[in-house]
Amino acid sequence: MQDARRSPHSGLPTPADLFVGRDGELVAVSGMLADARARLVTLTGPPGIGKTRLALACASAYAERSQCPPVFVDLAPVRDPALVMAELAQAAGVEPRSGADLTGQLAAALGNEERLVVLDNFEHLLGAARDVGQVLAACPRLRVLATSRERLRLSVEQQHFVTHRLNHYRAGLRMDYATTTAGDLATAMRTALARSGTGLGYRKVPRGGEVRAAARIAALLAEQ
Ligand SMILES: Nc1ncnc2c1ncn2[C@@H]1O[C@H](COP(=O)(O)OP(=O)(O)OP(=O)(O)O)[C@@H](O)[C@H]1O
Ligand SMILES: [Mg+2]
State whether 91 and 125 are in the same domain. Answer: yes
State whether 128 and 196 are in the same domain. Answer: no
The rounded Å distance from CA 52 to ligand 1 centre is 6
Q: Is the CB of 13 under 6 A from ligand 1?
A: no
The rounded Å distance from CA 138 to ligand 1 centre is 32
Q: Is the CB of 177 under 6 A from ligand 1?
A: no
* pLDDT score of 72 more than 90: yes
What rounded mean pLDDT belongs to the chain? 80
List pLDDT tens digits, range 171-215: 444 444 445 566 666 777 777 777 766 777 666 666 655 666 666
State mean pLDDT over 54-73: 91
Q: What are phi and psi of 130, to 5 degrees?
A: -60, -40
Of residues 50 and 222, more confidently modeled = 50
Residue 61 exposure: Cα atoms within 13 Å on the Cβ side: 18
Q: Is the CB of 209 under 6 A from ligand 1?
A: no
The rounded Å distance from CA 7 to ligand 1 centre is 18
Q: Is residue 177 assigned to a domain?
A: no
Q: Number of folded domains in the chain?
A: 2
Report the 10 Å Cβ neighbour count for 187: 25
State whether 111 and 19 are in the same domain. Answer: yes
Evaluate the CA torsion angle 210, 213, 219, 224 in order and state its sign. Answer: negative
Q: Is the CB of 4 under 6 A from ligand 1?
A: no
Neighbours of ion ligand 2 (CB under 5 A): 52, 121
State whether 18 and 73 are in the same domain. Answer: yes
State whether 9 and 53 are in the same domain. Answer: yes
Q: Is the CB of 22 under 6 A from ligand 1?
A: yes
State whether 199 and 116 are in the same domain. Answer: no
State whether 152 and 65 are in the same domain. Answer: yes
Task: Look up the pTM and report it.
Answer: 0.77
Q: Identify the pLDDT of residue 207.
A: 62
Q: Is residue 171 assigned to a domain?
A: no
Q: Is residue 175 assigned to a domain?
A: no
Q: Is residue 28 assigned to a domain?
A: yes
Q: Is the CB of 148 under 6 A from ligand 1?
A: no
* pLDDT score of 6 more than 90: no
> What CATH number did the domain enclosing 103 receive?
3.40.50.300
Q: Is residue 124 assigned to a domain?
A: yes
State whether 114 and 12 are in the same domain. Answer: yes
**Residue 16 buriedness (CB in 10 A; 0-12 / 13-18 / 19+):** exposed
Q: Is residue 174 assigned to a domain?
A: no
State whether 12 and 113 are in the same domain. Answer: yes
Q: Is residue 169 assigned to a domain?
A: no
* pLDDT score of 117 more than 70: yes
State whether 126 and 187 are in the same domain. Answer: no
Ligand 1 atom closest to 1 (CA):
17
- Calpha distance 134→1 (Å, rounded): 27
Residue nearest to atom 29 of ligand 1 (CA): 3
Q: Is residue 72 assigned to a domain?
A: yes
Best mutation site among 53, 167, 184 for ligand 1 pocket (most ligand atoms within 8 Å of CB): 53
- Report which listed range, 15-19, 22-26, 88-92, is most confident: 88-92
List pLDDT tens digits, range 126-180: 999 999 999 999 888 899 999 999 999 999 999 999 987 664 444 444 444 445 5
Q: Is the CB of 187 under 6 A from ligand 1?
A: no
| Domain that residue 29 falls in | 4-161
State whether 121 and 195 are in the same domain. Answer: no
State whether 131 and 50 are in the same domain. Answer: yes
